[in-house]
Amino acid sequence: MAAVDKSSATIRTAVLSDIDRIAAIEREVMSPAIYPAFFFRQALSIFGDGFLVAMLNGRPCGYLIIGQHNGDASIAEIYSVAVSSESRGAGLGRALLDAAFVWAKSRDVKTITLTVSPENAPAIGLYKSIGFREIERDEDYYGPGEARYILTAVV
Percent of the chain's residues with pLDDT above 70: 94
Structural domains for the chain: 8-154 (3.40.630.30)
71 pLDDT tier (thresholds 50, 70, 90): confident
Q: Mean pLDDT over all residues of the chain?
A: 91
Residues 81-110: tens digit of each pLDDT = 999 999 988 899 999 999 999 999 999 999
Cis amide prior to 32 (ω within 30 degrees): yes
User: Would the pLDDT of 8 be above 80?
Assistant: no
4 pLDDT tier (thresholds 50, 70, 90): very low
Bridge partners (DSSP) of residue 63 are 53, 82
CB distance 74 to 32 below 8 Å: no
Q: Which H or E element spans position 40? A: helix 37-47
- Could you give the CA distance from residue 155 to residue 74 in angstroms, rounded to a whole number? 10
- Could you give the CA distance from residue 69 to residue 63 in angstroms, rounded to a whole number? 20
User: Would the pLDDT of 1 be above 80?
Assistant: no
pLDDT at 7: 54
* pTM (predicted TM-score): 0.90
pLDDT at 6: 52
φ, ψ (nearest 5 deg) of residue 145: 75, 5
Percent of the chain's residues with pLDDT above 90: 76
Residues 47-58: tens digit of each pLDDT = 999 999 999 989
- Could you give the CA distance from residue 92 to residue 80 in angstroms, rounded to a whole number? 14
